[in-house]
Amino acid sequence: MVAGWWLGGWGYIRGHEKISILGACLVALSASPVLAQTAAPVVAVVSIRYSGDSTGSGYLLIDRDGKIERKNVQGAFNSPISSDQSMSRRAKVLRQTVVQLYQEGYVLKASLGHSDVDELIFVKEK
Protein backbone atom coordinates (compact mmCIF):
# COMPACT_ATOMS: atom_id res chain seq x y z
CA MET A 1 0.00 0.00 0.00
CA VAL A 2 2.75 2.43 0.95
CA ALA A 3 4.84 1.51 -2.11
CA GLY A 4 1.77 1.95 -4.27
CA TRP A 5 1.15 5.41 -2.85
CA TRP A 6 4.82 6.38 -3.31
CA LEU A 7 4.90 5.08 -6.86
CA GLY A 8 1.52 6.60 -7.47
CA GLY A 9 3.05 9.98 -6.60
CA TRP A 10 5.09 9.74 -9.79
CA GLY A 11 1.86 10.25 -11.71
CA TYR A 12 1.80 13.90 -10.65
CA ILE A 13 5.30 14.57 -12.07
CA ARG A 14 5.71 15.17 -15.80
CA GLY A 15 7.90 12.84 -17.85
CA HIS A 16 10.82 15.22 -18.39
CA GLU A 17 10.85 16.07 -14.69
CA LYS A 18 11.04 12.36 -13.84
CA ILE A 19 14.06 11.98 -16.11
CA SER A 20 15.70 15.04 -14.53
CA ILE A 21 15.18 13.70 -11.02
CA LEU A 22 16.47 10.22 -11.92
CA GLY A 23 19.46 11.76 -13.73
CA ALA A 24 20.35 13.88 -10.70
CA CYS A 25 20.16 10.79 -8.46
CA LEU A 26 22.42 8.83 -10.79
CA VAL A 27 24.97 11.66 -10.90
CA ALA A 28 24.96 11.86 -7.11
CA LEU A 29 25.44 8.11 -6.81
CA SER A 30 28.27 8.03 -9.34
CA ALA A 31 30.31 10.72 -7.54
CA SER A 32 33.26 9.52 -5.44
CA PRO A 33 32.96 9.84 -1.69
CA VAL A 34 34.45 13.00 -0.22
CA LEU A 35 36.83 11.09 2.04
CA ALA A 36 38.38 9.33 -0.92
CA GLN A 37 39.15 12.67 -2.54
CA THR A 38 40.94 14.26 0.41
CA ALA A 39 44.71 14.27 0.50
CA ALA A 40 46.68 12.70 3.31
CA PRO A 41 47.24 15.11 6.21
CA VAL A 42 50.57 16.88 6.52
CA VAL A 43 52.07 15.72 9.82
CA ALA A 44 55.04 16.98 11.80
CA VAL A 45 56.51 14.93 14.65
CA VAL A 46 58.76 16.55 17.24
CA SER A 47 60.84 14.01 19.18
CA ILE A 48 62.50 15.26 22.35
CA ARG A 49 65.45 12.94 22.98
CA TYR A 50 67.47 12.75 26.17
CA SER A 51 71.05 11.54 25.90
CA GLY A 52 71.11 10.01 29.38
CA ASP A 53 74.80 10.78 29.90
CA SER A 54 76.44 13.10 32.43
CA THR A 55 76.58 16.05 30.00
CA GLY A 56 72.82 16.43 30.14
CA SER A 57 72.67 17.08 26.43
CA GLY A 58 69.71 16.25 24.30
CA TYR A 59 68.13 17.25 21.05
CA LEU A 60 64.87 17.78 19.23
CA LEU A 61 64.16 16.00 15.97
CA ILE A 62 61.52 17.67 13.84
CA ASP A 63 60.20 15.44 11.06
CA ARG A 64 58.02 17.20 8.48
CA ASP A 65 57.12 14.80 5.67
CA GLY A 66 60.50 13.10 5.74
CA LYS A 67 62.50 16.32 6.07
CA ILE A 68 64.32 15.98 9.39
CA GLU A 69 65.69 18.95 11.29
CA ARG A 70 67.82 18.49 14.41
CA LYS A 71 68.14 21.07 17.21
CA ASN A 72 70.79 20.32 19.82
CA VAL A 73 70.22 21.46 23.39
CA GLN A 74 73.41 21.28 25.48
CA GLY A 75 73.10 20.82 29.23
CA ALA A 76 69.31 21.05 29.25
CA PHE A 77 68.56 17.47 30.29
CA ASN A 78 70.74 16.97 33.37
CA SER A 79 68.17 14.95 35.28
CA PRO A 80 64.42 14.60 35.64
CA ILE A 81 64.68 17.28 38.32
CA SER A 82 66.89 19.75 36.47
CA SER A 83 68.19 23.11 37.52
CA ASP A 84 66.19 26.21 36.65
CA GLN A 85 68.82 27.20 34.08
CA SER A 86 68.71 23.91 32.19
CA MET A 87 64.90 23.79 32.32
CA SER A 88 64.81 27.32 30.96
CA ARG A 89 67.13 26.35 28.10
CA ARG A 90 65.00 23.32 27.25
CA ALA A 91 61.76 25.31 27.45
CA LYS A 92 63.16 28.05 25.22
CA VAL A 93 64.12 25.65 22.40
CA LEU A 94 60.82 23.77 22.67
CA ARG A 95 58.81 27.01 22.70
CA GLN A 96 60.63 28.30 19.61
CA THR A 97 59.92 25.03 17.83
CA VAL A 98 56.22 25.03 18.73
CA VAL A 99 55.82 28.69 17.73
CA GLN A 100 57.53 27.96 14.40
CA LEU A 101 55.18 25.05 13.70
CA TYR A 102 52.09 27.09 14.65
CA GLN A 103 53.22 29.88 12.30
CA GLU A 104 53.48 27.29 9.52
CA GLY A 105 49.86 26.26 10.15
CA TYR A 106 50.40 23.15 12.29
CA VAL A 107 48.18 22.35 15.28
CA LEU A 108 49.15 20.08 18.19
CA LYS A 109 47.06 16.89 18.04
CA ALA A 110 48.80 14.51 20.46
CA SER A 111 51.68 14.12 22.87
CA LEU A 112 53.34 10.82 23.73
CA GLY A 113 55.82 10.08 26.49
CA HIS A 114 58.31 7.24 26.71
CA SER A 115 61.28 6.53 28.98
CA ASP A 116 63.87 8.53 27.03
CA VAL A 117 61.76 10.13 24.28
CA ASP A 118 58.78 12.46 24.32
CA GLU A 119 56.93 13.16 21.10
CA LEU A 120 54.56 15.89 19.99
CA ILE A 121 52.41 15.24 16.93
CA PHE A 122 51.25 18.22 14.87
CA VAL A 123 48.88 18.22 11.88
CA LYS A 124 48.78 21.05 9.37
CA GLU A 125 45.39 22.74 9.18
CA LYS A 126 44.23 23.94 5.78
Are 67 and 105 found together in one domain?
yes
Number of structural domains in the chain: 2
Rounded to two decimals, the pTM is 0.60
Q: Report the pLDDT value the prediction gives residue 27, as an integer from 0 to 100.
A: 66
Walk along the chain (126 residues) and give the pLDDT tens digit of each residue: 444 445 555 555 566 666 777 677 666 666 666 655 667 888 999 988 876 666 667 788 899 888 999 988 766 555 555 566 666 777 888 888 899 999 999 999 998 887 677 889 999 987
Print the domain residue range for 111. Answer: 43-124
Assign residue 113 the CATH number of its domain: 3.30.1410
| DSSP notation for 3-51 | HHHHHHGGGGS-HHHHHHHHHHHHHHHHSPPHHHHSPPPPEEEEEEEE-
Same domain, yes or no: 56 and 103: yes
Residues 29 and 57 both lie in one domain: no
Task: Assess contact for 73 and 90: CB atoms under 8 A.
Answer: yes
Say if residue 113 is in the same domain as residue 57. yes
- Give yes or no: residues 12 and 48 share one domain: no
What integer pLDDT is reported at residue 1 of this predicted model?
Answer: 45
The reply to whether 48 and 102 lie within a common domain is: yes
Residues sharing a CB contact under 8 Å with residue 10, sequence separation 6 or more, in sequence order? 18
pLDDT of amino acid 76: 56
Note the pLDDT of residue 113.
82
